[in-house]
Chains A and B, each alone.
Chain A
Amino acid sequence: MISVNGLSKRFGATVAVDNISFQVPAGQVLGFLGPNGAGKTTTMRILTGFLPADSGTATIAGYDIFDQSLDVRKRIGYLPENAPLYMDMEVPDFLHFIASIRKIPKLEIPKSMKRIIDLCGLKLVMHKRIGELSKGYRQRVGLAQAMIHNPDILVLDEPTSGLDPNQIIEIRELIRELGQEKTVILSTHILPEVTATCDRILIIHKGKLVADGTPKELSGHESGRSTLWVTVNDKSSNPLDILSNLTGVESAFSHSVFDEKQRIGLKLKAGANPAEDVFQTSVEHGWMLSELYHETATLEDIFGQLTK
């Protein structure tokens, strides 16, 4: 659905986007993750035709984003960062304006508006000027304008910024629901958000793509191996020697000794979890096992490692 090839963009001396390539198949929810200023917004602005790229190409639904910009823009719903809106317009007027410029047939506009008002929970603010709305409601109006023409592709730049926790959950559920049939690219720097909503994550740092995978794959990433914590009632070096030889264990270290017990950390190879073997071994050697805890690296750890 979306295919990006070697996209680069610089502003003066700073490289905002540095040779980024990725593909998004139809129906995938893709999360752009990265610290502030990583190049998320710039990438989205290029994809939506707001900014030109310095080099590289991209196609959306088979249309080139530079040569067939109008065709691309027709098929995208875009929520820019901070949801810029016409502050002096009333909500229904604004949605009507977007609907007519999106070429929704005149007779179907009321139906489309009703659908989107229900979907985004805008009923209570239908007679207000956008300038009078709270940040959360503006964000919802922004989402409404992005979705009123029921596009196949949604590009959402920080869709949950400014929302309260309840609204965040609502919007995440909405995005997950939409993701069943639509292709969605969203950006965020809130980590739980991507795990909650995305099928796939791209981590961008200083304009470069540093990681690409499902939330699960990323948790087993090089820089974030999981650890198996084992506590046994044997203070000698025996357990350490024996456990470090189990398959799937890369290295073992003694973490601490207390109350006649020893806590051992086993650094695991990617994808391995020899918890059952540890249990078996303990039984064979007559150790009392008082802790067996598999600690996976969180996305926070990986994110921190990759974007240092």
Chain B
Amino acid sequence: MKDVITILNRELKSYFDSPIGYVFITVFLVLSGWLFYSGFFLVNQASLRAFFDLLPWMYLFFVPAVTMRLWSEENKQGTMELLMTLPVRDIDVVIGKFLASFMFLTFTVFLTFPLILSVTALGRPDMGPIIGGYLGAVLMGGAYLAIGMFASSLNENQIITFILGVVICFGMFIIGESFVLMRAPGSWVPLLQHLGIGAHFRSIGRGVIDSRNIIYYLSVIGFFLFLNIKALENRKGH
């Protein structure tokens, strides 16, 4: 546990030690704000629906950018050799790195709170979907992060890692969307619907917090972190 915190501290600090962290936060906030407000006054509804509808798409490009350096950088700089010969278990490193990226993303998402302020100032929004939406945003973020981090463990080139992350995340997202569901064989639909990342988010976002949705995201996170540990072990040839 102590090792997890040590790794987490170092990773979290490295997000804020370099300009990349600040650039990421700024771009995320500007883009989400702009996309939200551009439709907000036309729809004339006091809700964050437009923001949450966009979020899975924004995550698709933002989250792999957060995770691309997690392992690729270690492999490229050769610090992997340093890290893997320190007396720390692989699982602790994986969890520490994941939690650091998770805290960074969660922090960024909560910086969108001015959206809530402006919506409450202009109307009387239903707080259920807003709270649910943020909870879903955090959980879905975790799932995207676990996928992106796994992609990062596969390659030392950050660009390739980023693209790989986008592709896997997109795959996980699109299988549950109507675009695919309409074309899939009927018997597959329930399974695909359950596996898709976006549907659970929309379900939580309606303000109804169902444990099945939470379990889904925790399983996706657990599964990809497990693959990540396996990828590390595989590199060592065990």
- How many angstroms between the C-alpha atoms of A12 and B140 in the bound complex? 41
Q: Count how many chain A residues have C-beta atoms less than 8 Å from C-beta atoms of the other chain.
A: 27
- How many angstroms between the C-alpha atoms of A128 and B85 in the bound complex? 25
User: A50-B81, A82-B78, A84-B78 are contacts. A98–B14 as well, Cβ < 8 Å?
Assistant: no
User: A51-B237, A97-B6 are contacts. A84–B82 as well, Cβ < 8 Å?
Assistant: yes
Q: Mark B1-39, 1 if CB is under 8 A from A, else 0.
A: 011001101100110011000000000000000000000
Q: Mark B62-101, 1 if CB is under 8 A from A, else 0.
A: 0000000000000001111110111111000000000000
Q: How far is the CB of A99 from chain B (nearest CB, A)?
A: 10
A78 contacts the other chain (Cβ, under 8 Å)? Answer: yes
Main secondary structure of the interface of B (DSSP, over half): helix
User: A86-B79, A97-B10 are contacts. A70–B84 as well, Cβ < 8 Å?
Assistant: no
A4 contacts the other chain (Cβ, under 8 Å)? Answer: no
B124 contacts the other chain (Cβ, under 8 Å)? Answer: no
Residues of the A chain whose Cβ atoms lie less than 8 Å from the Cβ of B238: 52
Q: Pick the contact of B86: A52, A88, A101 (CB < 8 A).
A: A101
The answer on a CB contact under 8 Å between A86 and B237 is no
User: A52-B238, A97-B6, A100-B6 are contacts. A84–B87 as well, Cβ < 8 Å?
Assistant: no
The answer on a CB contact under 8 Å between A52 and B84 is no
Residues of the A chain whose Cβ atoms lie less than 8 Å from the Cβ of B84: 49-50
- How many angstroms between the C-alpha atoms of A78 and B78 in the bound complex? 14
A74 contacts the other chain (Cβ, under 8 Å)? Answer: yes
The answer on a CB contact under 8 Å between A80 and B17 is no
B183 contacts the other chain (Cβ, under 8 Å)? Answer: no
The answer on a CB contact under 8 Å between B86 and A73 is yes
The answer on a CB contact under 8 Å between B236 and A52 is yes
A185 contacts the other chain (Cβ, under 8 Å)? Answer: no
Residues of the A chain whose Cβ atoms lie less than 8 Å from the Cβ of B6: 97, 100-101
Residues of the A chain whose Cβ atoms lie less than 8 Å from the Cβ of B77: 84-87
Residues of the B chain whose Cβ atoms lie less than 8 Å from the Cβ of A80: 78, 81-82, 85
Residues of the B chain whose Cβ atoms lie less than 8 Å from the Cβ of A51: 236-237
Residues of the A chain whose Cβ atoms lie less than 8 Å from the Cβ of B87: 70, 73-74, 101-103
Interface residues of A (CB under 8 A from B): 45, 48-52, 70, 73-74, 76, 78, 80, 82, 84-89, 93, 97-98, 100-103, 145
Interface residues of B (CB under 8 A from A): 2-3, 6-7, 9-10, 13-14, 17-18, 77-82, 84-89, 236-238
